[in-house]
Amino acid sequence: MAATLLVPGYVDRREVGEIARCIASLDPEIPYTLLAFHPAFYLADLPPTSRRHAEECLEEARRAGLRRVELGNVHLLGRDY
């Protein structure tokens, strides 16, 4: 299993696509979870992961060839304004 924390301003869909292509080159059946970020402690100045950001990254990972991709921590997804 692999996972990526979707920290706004640090991890974007391009980066997720590159990670997903690397994982898919090993085995497209490897489970991959994209985790929503929520600010706390050191990163309190950052916004939570938006639903749009998470869905774009999810689509990018699937486009890269992974078959078992899911969103984690969906209760932490921020609102899109």
Q: What is the mean pLDDT of residues 46-57?
A: 95
* Parent domain of 29: 2-76
Per-residue CA distances from 74 to 22, 26, 38, 49, 65 (Å): 25, 27, 10, 9, 22
DSSP conformation letters of the chain: -EEEEE-TTTS-HHHHHHHHHHHHHH-TTS-EEEEEP---GGGTTSPPPBHHHHHHHHHHHHHTT-SSEEEE-GGGPBPP-
Backbone angles phi, psi at 32, to 5 degrees: -135, 125
pLDDT given at position 81: 44
At 10-47, the pLDDT tens digits run 999 999 999 999 999 999 999 999 999 999 888 889 99
pLDDT given at position 52: 94
- What percent of the chain stands above pLDDT 70? 96
pLDDT given at position 40: 85
Asked if the structure places residue 81 within a domain, the reply is: no
Domain count, the chain: 1
Asked if the structure places residue 39 within a domain, the reply is: yes
